[in-house]
Amino acid sequence: MIKIQSPHVLVHYSEIALKGKNRTFFENQLIHSLRKGLKGLGMDAVKRLYGRILLHFQEDAPFETIRERLQWIYGISNFSHACQTALDVAALKAAVVSCLGDVEVESFAVVTRRGNKSFPLDSVGVNREVGQAIVDAKGWKVRLGDPELRVFVYILDQHAYFTFERVPGPGGMPVGTAGKVICLISGGIDSPVASYRMMRRGCQPVFVHFHSAPHTSIASQEKVVELTNLLVRYHPRAKLYLVPFAELQRDIVARTRAPFRVILYRRFMMRAAEAIAKREKALALVTGESLGQVASQTLENLSTIEAVSSLPILRPLLCQDKQEIIDEAQRLGTFDISIEPDDDCCSYLMPPNPATHSTEQELRAAEEVFDIPAAIAALARAAEVRTVGPE
> Checking DSSP bridges between strand 159-163 and strand 167-168, what pairing results, if any?
unpaired
Residue 236 is predicted with a pLDDT of: 82
| 282, 161 Cβ separation under 8 angstroms | no
- Whether the predicted pLDDT of 175 surpasses 70: yes
3-state secondary structure of 31: helix
Q: Is 314 exposed, middle or buried (0-12, 13-18, 19+ CB in 10 A)?
A: buried
The confidence band for 14, taking pLDDT boundaries of 50, 70 and 90, is: confident
pLDDT for the residue 202: 94
Q: What is the largest CA-CA distance in the chain?
A: 86
Which of 349, 385, 355, 366 lies closest to 245, judged by CA? 349
Q: How far apart are CA 273 and CA 304, in angstroms?
A: 16
Going by C-alpha positions, the residue among 27, 3, 19, 7 that lies closest to residue 76 is 27
pLDDT on residue 290: 95
Helix axes 261-280, 246-255, angle to 10 degrees: 140
| Mean pLDDT value of segment 14-36 | 87
pLDDT at 350 over 90: no
Q: Residue 223's pLDDT band (boundaries 50, 70, 90)?
A: very high
User: Average pLDDT for residues 36-64, to the nearest whole number?
Assistant: 92
In the chain, DSSP assigns E strands to 8-12, 43-49, 52-57, 78-86, 107-114, 141-142, 149-155, 159-163, 167-168, 180-184, 204-211, 238-244, 284-286, 313-314, 384-388
Which CATH code is given to the segment(s) 8-168? 3.30.2130.30
Mean pLDDT of 138-149: 94
Quote the DSSP letter at residue 355: -
Domain boundaries, the chain: 8-168, 180-388
What's the whole-number average pLDDT of the chain?
92
Question: Residue 114's beta-bridge partner residues?
Answer: 155
Q: State residue 343's pLDDT score.
A: 67
CA distance readout (Å), 252 to 93, 211, 243, 345, 368: 74, 15, 16, 14, 11
209: left (phi > 0), else alpha (psi -120 to 50), else beta?
beta
Residue 34's Cβ-count burial label (10 Å; 0-12, 13-18, 19+) is buried
Q: Check: CB of residue 260 under 8 Å from CB of residue 361.
A: no
Average pLDDT over every residue of 57-68: 94
Give the fold, CATH level 3, of 180-388: Rossmann fold (3.40.50)
